[in-house]
């Protein structure tokens, strides 16, 4: 189990007098025997910090200016054991919790790297990838793309490159071959391979904007969108060739269609989904195996016109719509394309407030039966992902979610909280958050949580590696 926390105070640009300790890991779990040393990054002010192990079976080794290595001796008992390492810098103090299971116990491993700006998991869970930024010894600000082998936890560090050269903004996706696509701040997306080569992806013929890539299938089919005359169009890229996807005839409110963006693709490449990214409606669409476009949740979609006061004594026509929507998420479809997770929104007009009111529920659409299952008892939340065999994962809110539930889609029942479900089925404790993707292997998965590891609360990702 790995995490990081700003334990005493916080530092902003130009401030150096605040005493603090920032650790890359605050909890580390070890098997009973055959463990590898674990290196923990330490950033502290004052810079002269020290660490002390409070148990004889734990050793602090290979201490550098910015890291320490934790070693443990084999546990020859039948019981798990715990210890602490204290880290001090001036008046600041932090604790690293060390957990070692009994000698014959194996377990999945929970990993959390808050220094990464964002990370993504490949369709089959072979890799996770992301990037971080840091200063070198000469004071230059650089970007460090990283692809991690989920089985072995080997890090493929690419670069570094100057931040001014590659203005990386957000990790889009990583393929099962290790190719990673990262969106830049103002110039489309860059694709990296494991050898450290990179290229800026170019717009399809006839389009003016460099493409935005959102997701990739196990076979390497990428999906996203490109722009023409200020309007976005959905695309898929097969063997590097751009193929434009059709738009629905009307937008979410049954009005002329505008922006449409492809957001995700099932691991097997059968189903692509996206959003009508106009009027802030984010209506959810999908393309079937034949390439035809439909609205997700067609069976529960309902639009009706009303007259709304225009503020000048008259009215204007407005279409209230109940239906499925999602935002910029790219893991909503199950690996086999059978289920699509989303948010079912019900709209009504309030005469008292003179506004359209919305109520949201987690919902899951079956692309094979054309039926939608809505979890009305989880009001206010949304569906975020699904497994091929019908488990659904939800978040407790459509904005800044902090927890999630696990549901049985076909039965329409709530199984329980994500934290409890992972503890019961995998024997590990996830501090908080919700699960956003699980490949068909079921022995690894990917999630998100809110973190107060820095001066502000922000969303970060975590993942679980299989038993090793």
Minimum mean pLDDT range among 56-70, 77-91, 440-454: 440-454
Query: Mean pLDDT, to the nearest integer, of 190-194?
Result: 97
Average pLDDT on 389-397 reads 96
Q: What angle do CA 447, 370, 302 make, to 5 degrees?
A: 95
- Over 60: is that where the pLDDT of 236 sits? yes
pLDDT digit string (tens) for 13-25? 344 478 999 998 8
Query: How confident is the prediction for the chain on average, in pLDDT?
Result: 91
Please tell me which of 12-21, 40-49, 270-279, 378-387 the model is most confident about, judged by mean pLDDT: 378-387
CB 425 within 8 A of CB 418: no
Average pLDDT over residues 288-316: 94
273 pLDDT exceeds 60?
yes
- Asked if 432 and 450 count as a contact pair (C-beta separation under 8 A), the reply is yes
Q: For residue 9, what pLDDT band results from cuts at 50, 70 and 90?
A: very low
* Average pLDDT estimate for 225-243: 95
Region(s) of the chain under CATH 2.60.40.10: 20-106
DSSP per-residue letters across 327-374: -S-S--B-TTSSEEEEEEEEEEEETTTTEEEEEEEEEEEETTTTEEEE
Q: Is the pLDDT of residue 310 over 90?
A: no
20-106: what CATH class? mainly beta
Q: What is the pLDDT of residues 154-179, one digit of tens each?
A: 999 998 999 999 999 999 999 999 99
Percentage of the chain beyond pLDDT 70 is 94
Q: Are the C-beta atoms of 224 and 261 separated by less than 8 Å? A: yes
What sign results for the dihedral spanned by CA atoms 181, 186, 188, 193?
A: negative
User: ∠ at Cα 158 (153, 162), nearest 5°?
Assistant: 140
In terms of average pLDDT, the best of 261-265, 445-449, 461-465 is 261-265
Say yes or no to pLDDT of 105 above 90. Answer: no
Q: For the chain, give the percent of residues with pLDDT over 90.
A: 75
Q: Which of 22-36, 293-307, 414-428 has the highest mean pLDDT?
A: 293-307
Report pLDDT digits (tens) over 29-48.
Answer: 888 888 889 999 999 999 99
CA–CA distance, 301 with 220 (Å, rounded to integer)? 33
Check pLDDT > 60 for residue 437.
yes
Write down the pLDDT at residue 352: 87
């Amino acid at each position: 189990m790995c995490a990081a926390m700003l334990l005493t105070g916080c530092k902003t640009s130009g401030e150096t007098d605040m005493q603090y300790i920032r650790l890359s890991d605050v909890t580390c779990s070890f098997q009973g025997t055959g463990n590898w040393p674990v290196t923990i990054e330490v950033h502290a002010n004052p810079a002269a910090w020290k660490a002390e192990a409070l148990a004889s079976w734990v050793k602090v080794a290979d201490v550098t200016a910015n890291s320490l290595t934790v070693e443990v001796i084999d546990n020859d008992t039948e019981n798990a054991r715990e210890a602490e390492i204290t880290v001090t810098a001036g008046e600041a103090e932090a604790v690293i919790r060390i957990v070692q299971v009994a000698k014959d116990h194996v377990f999945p491993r929970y990993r959390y790297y808050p220094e990464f700006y964002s990370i993504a998991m490949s369709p089959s869970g072979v890799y996770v990838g992301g990037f971080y930024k840091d200063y070198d010894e000469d004071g230059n600000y650089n970007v460090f793309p990283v692809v991690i082998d989920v089985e072995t936890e080997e890090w493929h560090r690419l670069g570094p490159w100057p931040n001014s050269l590659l203005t990386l903004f957000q990790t889009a996706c990583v393929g099962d071959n290790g190719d990673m696509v990262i969106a830049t701040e103002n110039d489309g997306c860059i694709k990296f391979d494991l050898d450290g080569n990179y290229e800026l992806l170019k717009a399809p013929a006839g389009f003016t904007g460099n493409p935005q890539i959102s997701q990739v299938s196990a076979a390497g089919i990428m999906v996203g969108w490109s722009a023409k005359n200020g309007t976005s169009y959905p695309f898929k890229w097969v063997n590097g060739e751009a193929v434009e996807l059709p738009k629905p005839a009307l937008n979410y409110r049954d009005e002329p269609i505008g922006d449409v963006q492809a957001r995700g693709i099932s691991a097997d490449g059968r189903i692509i989904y996206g959003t009508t990214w106009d009027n802030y409606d984010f209506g959810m669409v999908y393309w079937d195996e034949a390439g035809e476009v439909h609205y997700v949740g067609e069976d529960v979609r309902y639009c009706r016109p009303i007259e709304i006061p225009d503020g000048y004594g008259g009215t204007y026509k407005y279409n209230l719509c109940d239906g499925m929507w999602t935002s910029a998420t790219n893991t909503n479809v199950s690996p086999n394309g059978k289920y699509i997770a989303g948010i079912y929104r019900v709209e009504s007009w309030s005469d008292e407030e003179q506004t359209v009111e919305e109520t949201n529920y987690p919902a899951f659409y079956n692309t094979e039966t054309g039926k939608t299952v809505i979890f009305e008892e989880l009001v206010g939340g949304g569906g975020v992902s699904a497994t091929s065999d019908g488990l659904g994962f939800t978040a407790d809110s459509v904005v800044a979610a902090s927890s999630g539930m696990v549901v049985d889609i076909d039965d329409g029942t709530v199984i329980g909280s994500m934290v409890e479900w992972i503890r019961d089925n995998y024997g590990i404790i996830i501090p908080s958050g919700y699960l956003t993707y699980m490949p068909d292997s079921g022995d690894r998965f990917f999630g998100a949580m809110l973190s107060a590891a820095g001066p502000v609360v922000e969303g970060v990702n975590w993942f679980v590696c299989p038993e090793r």
